[in-house]
Amino acid sequence: MILADTSIWVDHLRRHNLQMQVLLDSGQVLMHPFIVAELALGSVRDRLRTLAALDAVLSARVAQVSEVRQMIEARSLYARGIGLTEAHLVASCLITPGTRLWTRDNALRSVAQTLGIDAGLP
């Protein structure tokens, strides 16, 4: 399964990323509620339908804040250039077996590679 970050979703919603569409059509994409919320803060075409479709994507497991804090310390993720949302995505990948993270963010990709959860997608 693939958990795509906000940058991937923005690209898909703006330019219709074919690779993302194939993954969505085959049920291989998970959604995190923080990503839907971040997208909802932006300008979304056909807003109600698009947000409803995003809400309908199968959800990744969501870690509690205390679990994310523990992960940050245990995996030395501090001072690595990621924020709380990105740390939550990492945690979701780690607690949802077989899930890989798709991002274009260099700091997040570096963390994902270190933890063996990088999707390796362009």
Task: Compute the distance between CA of residue 22 and CA of residue 42 in angstroms, rounded to an integer.
Answer: 24
97 domain-assigned = yes
Contacts by residues 45-53 (CB-CB < 8 Å, ≥ 24 positions apart): 45/13, 50/13
121 domain-assigned = no
Task: With a cut of 90, say whether residue 122 has pLDDT above it.
Answer: no
Q: What is the mean pLDDT of the chain?
A: 97
User: What pLDDT does 53 receive?
Assistant: 97
**Structure confidence by residue, pLDDT tens digits, 41-77:** 999 999 999 999 999 999 999 999 999 999 999 999 9
Helix (H, G, I), strand (E, B) or coil at 3: strand
Q: What is the 3-state secondary structure (H, E, C) of 29-81?
A: EEECHHHHHHHHCCCCCCHHHHHHHHHHCCECCCCCHHHHHHHHHHCCCCCCC
**Structure confidence by residue, pLDDT tens digits, 76-93:** 999 999 999 999 999 999
Q: How many domains does the chain have?
A: 1
120 domain-assigned = no
User: What CATH number is associated with residue 24?
Assistant: 3.40.50.1010
What is the domain range of residue 47?
2-115
70 domain-assigned = yes
User: What pLDDT does 93 receive?
Assistant: 98
15 domain-assigned = yes
